[in-house]
Amino acid sequence: MEALIQVMVLFLLIGVGYICKKIKIISNNMNDDISNLLVYVSLPALIIISFSSFELSDEILREGIRLLIICLYLNGIYIGLSYVFTRFLKVRGTTRDVFQFALVFTNAGFMGFPIAYVVFGEIGVFYMAIFNMLSDIFLWTFGVRVMSRPLRKYSKENERKEEMPLLKQLMNPCIIAVFIGIVFFIVPFKLPAVIYNSLELIGSITTPLSMIFIGSMLGDLKFDTIINDQKVLLGSFIRLIILPLCILMILKIVNVNGILLRIPVIATALPVAVGTSIVAKKYGNDYYLASKLVFISTLFSILTIPFFLWMV
């Protein structure tokens, strides 16, 4: 019940962001600034603090390595199921690209960390960071490959101009923060109190700010035009219900329990990644469809996330 209350608090914050956008307290330019503040400042600070809050022990190291291996296999399963479900949905072209991306990548960055923090505490952020690191690696490899299909199909020259080197794509602030956190996790050196407390304070704004950001983003879309799109509704149902149930059954079959079960299932039950719209726009894909999937899946996750928290 306490976890459910905490999750409902998060969604009330989403409502605050939605209202602020509707009454024009938050503008699109401010949305960009909030996104940058989250990605470049508060999320990295939260990740570093979460790693440096624990002392290296055989149990944590063993569990972390096990989760890394589990997440590696799970991403392969996500990709395989994305091909199956896009065939089931009978989508083609750019619609297939966006749906496939949406079925593989969840909103672990903006929603996963806050939910893991309020439900499991700092150890939850620690394990969610491991999941998110693997997800980011697949996003900037397989994900970009999927979204850039139109560019690669129609213009090889444009492909060379648009694509960044893989290493540069992977070196986003959150992954860098994971590596920094791992260093502080392994070595006996501890951050000075002034730096630690500052990072902790900066990281503490991640939860409310990320929820308000998601709400403000949803405020851009008209609900009545989206709710009539049957494929978007079905795709969101697969994302929020079918996929996490599949992962839950698979992990139960291979006898995975405890937080190694809970983190992957909750991460899989999250809505479509906010970055879906950003990546679609950058690589010439269907940005509007991506936004609709983000909107509907985030809206209905208000009900599905507490359900899966209860299940695990």
Identify the CATH number of the domain in which residue 307 sits: 1.20.1530.20
pLDDT in tens, 13-66: 888 988 998 888 888 777 778 877 887 888 788 878 877 766 667 777 888 889
Per-residue confidence (pLDDT) for residue 32, from 0 to 100:
73
Percentage above 70 pLDDT, the chain: 88
SS3 106: strand
Instruction: List Cα–Cα distances, 186 to 66, 129, 182, in angstroms.
Output: 17, 16, 6
pLDDT above 70 (res 165): no
Structural domain boundaries enclosing 193: 2-311
**Is the sign of the CA dihedral 50, 273, 38, 147 positive or negative?**
positive
- Token readout for 184 is 């502080």
Q: Could you tell me how far CA 108 lies from the centroid of its own chain?
A: 2
Per-residue confidence (pLDDT) for residue 105, from 0 to 100:
93
CB 70 within 8 A of CB 250: no
Q: Pick the residue with more confidence: 256 or 11? A: 256
Domain count, the chain: 1
pLDDT in tens, 73-130: 999 999 999 999 999 988 888 899 999 999 999 988 778 888 888 888 878 888 888 8
Q: pTM score, two decimals?
A: 0.77
Rounded to an integer, the average pLDDT of 138-150 is 83
pLDDT above 70 (res 1): no
